[in-house]
Amino acid sequence: MFLENGTRLAVAYEAGVGVVIPQGTVHFARNLVCTRSEIVVIFDHPEPGVVYAGEALAGFPPTYLRSAFKGGKFPSDITGNQFIDKSCSCKDKKGTPAGKRKEDEKRKERHAKERDD
């Protein structure tokens, strides 16, 4: 999220935390771990006028985008998610994602500990 003075504010939130983001604020979210995550978004209007940056940029030719981003590396194809961590998509022989395995292991450990107590 960017504050009014242009300062970037980056915060890591724990599970179950609620966040209120001021109207009109440029912000984004990303999952930094290989576990399932959900985001619930509530607006005060049925048509809030949200602009999704990826969709908005997809309509511009790559030459314009490179110019706008000061000639930096900008992918020629911006469809799909360019920021997916490929290590999160690895699966075992049963097709279970790595993050799901970790969640299952932690759940089993908790249940075993509760049984022992």
Q: Do 81 and 29 contact (CB within 8 A), yes or no?
A: no
Domain boundaries, the chain: 85-117
User: Is pLDDT above 70 for 76?
Assistant: no
pTM (2 d.p.)? 0.39
Residue 86, pLDDT score: 54
User: Is pLDDT above 80 for 16?
Assistant: yes
What is the Cβ-side half-sphere exposure of residue 76, based on CA atoms within 13 angstroms? 0
Q: What is the pLDDT of residues 44-62, one digit of tens each?
A: 888 888 877 777 777 788 7
